Structure 1
Amino acid sequence: MKFESVGLEKMTADLNRLDEVMHEHGLVRAEQWDYERVSYDRKFELKEGVYYLRVQGFATEGDVGAHKAIIQLKVPLLGKHYYPHGVEYGDGENFPSSLVKQSQEILAAVKAELEQFAGV
């Protein structure tokens, strides 16, 4: 599921500040990066299954590995994990409405905080 109406995909931010903001909202980068891309995930374990909220971005300037980069965010995604195959983000997936609402609230909070210092 794509969260296209949130508006995060129009934002850029310094990598180090982005890491802090995402972590405050439970989105973890961990080892999901290379020198040009980043992914932040938040895991939800519900009775209906395991879900991931994912926010991805790519470096428009600098180097992610050196912790000196400007990141352009992409459209956030919500996916369901299927063992052992991985996460599916397709339109055919059924997501609990409470999870969708919670994800929208998290993304809105992230956006509000990023707007204070990020480029739009």
Structure 2
Amino acid sequence: MKFDNTGLENFKVDLTRLDDIMERHRMVRAGQWDYERVTYDKKYTIKEGTYYLRVQGYATEGDVDSFDAVIQLMPPILGKYYYPHGIEYGDDEYFPHDLIKHCRKVLEALKEDLAVFAE
């Protein structure tokens, strides 16, 4: 499920600041990056299964591995995890209303915090 028009997709943010803010909102980057892209995940384990709120971005300047990059954020997505295949984001997936509501709150809080530092 794609969250359109959150405002996050309009932000370019310094990677170091982005890491700090995402961590405050329990969005984990861990090892999910390469030289040009980053992915932050928030895991939800609920009765209906395991879901991930995911915010991705790509470097418009610099390199991610050097921690000297400006990241253009992309529209956030929500996916359901299926073992052993991975995460599915399709329109056919069921996403509980309360989960979607909570994700929207997290994204709004991220937007407020990132707006201070965004280009």
TM-score by length of 1: 0.98
The runs of at least 4 consecutive aligned structure 1 residues that moved more than 6 Å come to none
Aligned counterparts of 1:105 and 1:58: Cα–Cα separation in 2: 24
Matched residue type, 2:104: Q
User: Could you say which residue in structure 2 is the equivalent of 1:50?
Assistant: 50
- Give 1:110 shift: 0.4
User: Could you say which residue in structure 1 is the equivalent of 2:32?
Assistant: 32
User: Could you say which residue in structure 2 is the equivalent of 1:90?
Assistant: 90
Matched residue type, 1:49: G
What does the per-residue CA deviation read over 1:52-111, in whole Å, with 9 as the maximum and x for residues that have no partner?
000000000001000000000001000000111110001111101000000000000001
Computed over aligned residues only, the root mean square deviation of the Cα atoms, in angstroms, reads 0.5
User: Could you say which residue in structure 1 is the equivalent of 2:11?
Assistant: 11
1:61 and 2:61 correspond: yes
Structure 1: unaligned runs, 5 residues or longer: none
Aligned counterparts of 1:80 and 1:50: Cα–Cα separation in 2: 6
- Give 1:5 shift: 2.1
Report if aligned partners of 2:17, 2:117 keep a CA contact under 8 Å in 1. no
Aligned counterparts of 2:76 and 2:93: Cα–Cα separation in 1: 16
TM-score by length of 2: 0.98
Structure 2: unaligned runs, 5 residues or longer: none
Q: What is the count of residue pairs matched by the alignment?
A: 119
Q: Percent identity?
A: 59
